[in-house]
Amino acid sequence: MMRKTSVILLSAATGAALTLLVTQPRAMFMGSSARAATSDTYRQLNLFGDVFERVRSDYVEKPDDSKLVESAISGMLAGLDPHSSYMDAKSFRDMQVQTRGEFGGLGIEVTMEDGLIKVVSPIDDTPASKAGIMANDIITMLDDEQVQGLTLNQAVEKMRGPVNTKIRLKIIRKGLDNPIEVTLIRDNIRVRSVRAHVEADDIGYIRITTFNEQTTEGLKKEIANLQNQIGDKLKGFIIDLRNNPGGLLEEAVTVSDAFLERGEIVSTRGRNAEETQRRSAHPGDLTKGKPLIVLVNGGSASASEIVAGALQDHKRATLVGTRSFGKGSVQTIIPLGSGNGALRLTTARYYTPSGKSIQAKGIVPDIEVLQDVPDELKSRTDTRGEASLRGHLKSDGDEKTGSQSYVPPDAKDDKALKLADDLLHGIKASATAAPTAVTGDKASNDKTPANKAAN
């Protein structure tokens, strides 16, 4: 478990261990300047102790000591950068569930509607689907507790639980006069981070929504299924990373490796030269060299950018869409012991195979495609990007903020998807020679040479 929790959010277990090993002995050989700095640090810690005691003794109501300490830790980490933070024990457990991609539960995707829980869809071969729960069912009670008044997260937490435990649901279904009551036994549920379908009869479309521990296995399964379904007429693959916020470094590396035969995938660099790590591809392209189109937008961040950057730098894929988010840093999860939560600490920056950092810049697609956005959504369809976050790590060049992140709900209105289809069907848009902007029905070529690096 320790290994798994310390590779979350673009970190590396060996990097985390190395940091601990090299920083502790270093303090044994302090010069006069280091001793002076340490002395000043202890004076500041004494000041913190004085403030802590004053708050405990004089605040208008007796404060909770543990909450005071947690707030102080949270404030210290929040002051570093937008991605470093303190997680209490519950938040740490929730994060572990999210990154594992599996949990004890019922197997339903839900949303909140008018204060009640609405079923979006049951997941195949789960307790919910076997019990006949249907999309658009309204869940009104969980055991003997009314759902109304709970937040969505609270309701989801109550539906999750240890495998083989029971829960009763009361359901209202359109067309039925009386509510349905059903008892389910929780089972091990795996979150589908990879979904796929056949596009235009001869293209494999693969959507990756997050990078958890199930992602690479899910990708391999979907590639094999698509190859079997389409057969010899397979033109290529569309990998949709739009609005994918990222996840595990290891999964970003193995997903990239699935499409590459050789070469570097990503490197990470921290404060010390010893912390530099390089991850490289192994022989074996699962798609057997078929053309790839990768869709990105302003919501593609972190692990998504590692995959997009690796495939773009190696000229293995053509990137279509809008500039990505620009999160080029690595966070290591450092558990603090039983019941004490964990630190999410920024420990390194990452670099694409060409050696470029995308921090606060994002990855520029080979072909830019702007979607037609409904008037009522125009003020909410741009993602501000890493560069707009207060306290972000500074870039070594011009920073870029904001990029369109709207994806039309109906595939027939999706310009980026349509262009990807056209490219794979042989309509060449000179993506390898010059960046192209597509804002309407016609494409216009920019005379600037294509920049294959993520900058």
Report, as residue numbers or ranges, the catalytic residues.
302, 313, 327
Cα 306 from Cα 253, distance rounded (Å): 8
Cα 23 from Cα 27, distance rounded (Å): 7
DSSP state of 174: T
Cross-strand partners of 102: 190
3-state secondary structure of 187: strand
Q: Token pair for residue 222? A: 């979907």
Q: Tell me what percent of the chain is helix, strand and coil, each rounded to the nearest 5.
A: 35, 25, 40
Cα 289 from Cα 149, distance rounded (Å): 53
Render 367-407 in DSSP notation, one character per residue: EEEPPPPPGGGGGGSEE--GGGSTTPPPPSS-----EE---
3-state secondary structure of 90: helix
